[in-house]
Amino acid sequence: MLDTSPLTTAVERFADRLRAAPQSRLQRGAAAEGLAVARQLAARALELEGLEPRELPDAGIFVVGDQLSVAGRDLAEALRTAETAPSVVLDEAVRLVGEAEARALG
């Protein structure tokens, strides 16, 4: 079974920082970065589960941290339960989250 703790750690760190960010920072692009990476993670989870892709909705700047957390946990679970969970997907997801966090919150 694939150890997904690097992903959940990275996702929760970024999500917590988004939740704590001031409104002005969220409006200047941090929320958009968070939503973009949440959408990428959700898409990968759906793909691993063999489900049709659908876009994670924009529910507003104040819930993007929660959306990121849910999408990250969904991907972690999909990776843990997939018959063939490629570690490259995990590594790429961790990288995507880290890069988005750096762009969003420096």
Q: Count the domains in the chain.
A: 1
CA 73 from centre of chain: 8
Read off the pTM. 0.94
pLDDT of residue 85: 62
pLDDT of residue 87: 85
Host domain of residue 24: 5-105
Which tokens go with 4? 């997904």
Nearest-10 Cα torsion for 30, 103, 7, 69: 0
Nearest to 71 by CA among 37, 20, 30, 22: 37
pLDDT of residue 33: 98
Q: What is the pLDDT of residues 29-88, one digit of tens each?
A: 999 999 999 999 999 999 999 999 899 999 999 999 999 999 999 999 999 988 776 788
pLDDT at residue 10 is higher than 90: yes
